[in-house]
Structure 1
Amino acid sequence: MSHHAPPGLGPAPAPEPDVSCRCKGSATLEGLVTVPVIIAFGYTAADPYAVRMVVETGITPPARWVFARDLLTEGLSRPAGLADVQVWPVPRRPRRLRAGRGTVRIRVSSPGGTTALTVQAACLQAFLDRTLERVAAGAESTEPHLDDALASWLGMERRDDGAV
């Protein structure tokens, strides 16, 4: 759930997303400064549990995060997550979110600090709906691509016979 690669290892290339979107949002850094950002979300059936998020400010290098798709889905309607990534609806009235007027807050923490992102709920919901069309909730473990995702994370090539 971190946006930094382990020491000595380069970042593994992310699988090409099957579903992606870019949402306008804002980032509040350490609770002090709020800046406009573009939040890009990506999802691939080869890694069915994960969503990749890239936050672009246009000023600093993009910050990258990987976390569970279920976390975003749950966070649309109620507070979700622990530790590094937390998601909750703002305002906390589901009726406003269903009408597409609400926002969702995503708080990401690392040793370098904490950032609170705000994104339109309608944009995030549309992205998640498209991911669920690709791989339905609960069907992730039936997808035959888990070995491909593990190989991708480890930066390994898979052979045609499925061996690594």
Structure 2
Amino acid sequence: MNSFVHKTLVVEIQAGVADRVPGLAHLGYDPADPFAVTVVFSHEGRVLARWQLDRDMLFDGLTRPAGTGDVRLRPESLGVERELRMEFFGAAHADGGRHHAVVFVWAEAVGDFLRETYRTVAPGDEQVRLDDFLAAVLAGS
């Protein structure tokens, strides 16, 4: 039976030119939406942001730059340790700039999470339930 996969990771969050601050990333994978990983970032008990990431892009970001637009991922080395650098771009400021935050997370922990998702739904075994999707779209209109 397919089951929801969840993992909470300690991360470091950097917004603008500020120093990194500790936070949490709550990663979730629901086999009903097999291509997506939901990430909720929090700091001191407050939710800062919620993003849905493509599971394949998250995997690719562990070994090479991945993503364009609002989400960009790339590996970074800290000696023997490896981090995943996750850049997020949000809404535009009045001056034309954009909100921007960078999250650093231990790459091995993200890899462990992804391996759990692959045990739940193997790459290539994802199924799109088109009838369910269309029903949800039509119900919302």
Q: Distance in 2 between matches of 1:52 and 1:90?
A: 22
CA contact (8 A) 1:47 1:149 kept: no
| CA 1:146–1:90: 2 relative to 1, 3 Å | farther
Which structure would you say has the larger RCO, counting Cα contacts within 8 Å and 6 or more residues apart? 1
Question: Considering only aligned residues, what root-mean-square deviation do their CA atoms show, in Å?
Answer: 2.5
Q: Which amino acid aligns with 2:68?
A: L
- Equivalent residue pairs, number: 132
**Secondary structure of 1:61's partner?**
strand
What is aligned with 1:18?
4
The question of 1:107 aligning with 2:87 is answered: yes
What is aligned with 1:123?
109
* Percent of residue pairs identical: 31
Where structure 2 has 5 or more consecutive residues not aligned to the other structure, the ranges are 93-98
Where structure 1 has 5 or more consecutive residues not aligned to the other structure, the ranges are 1-16, 158-164
The TM-score, its normalising length taken from structure 2, stands at 0.81
Q: Which amino acid aligns with 1:74?
A: D
The TM-score, its normalising length taken from structure 1, stands at 0.71
CA contact (8 A) 1:78 1:92 kept: no
Give runs of aligned pairs for residues 92-103 of structure 1, distance below 5 A: 96=80, 101-103=81-83
Of residues 66, 69, 81 in structure 2, which corresponds to 1:80?
Answer: 66
What is aligned with 2:22?
36
CA contact (8 A) 1:75 1:88 kept: yes
**Secondary structure of 1:102's partner?**
strand
Deviates more, 1:75-84 or 1:56-65: 56-65
The question of 1:52 aligning with 2:38 is answered: yes
Please state which structure has a larger fraction of its residues in strand: 2
Q: Distance in 2 between matches of 1:45 and 1:146?
A: 15
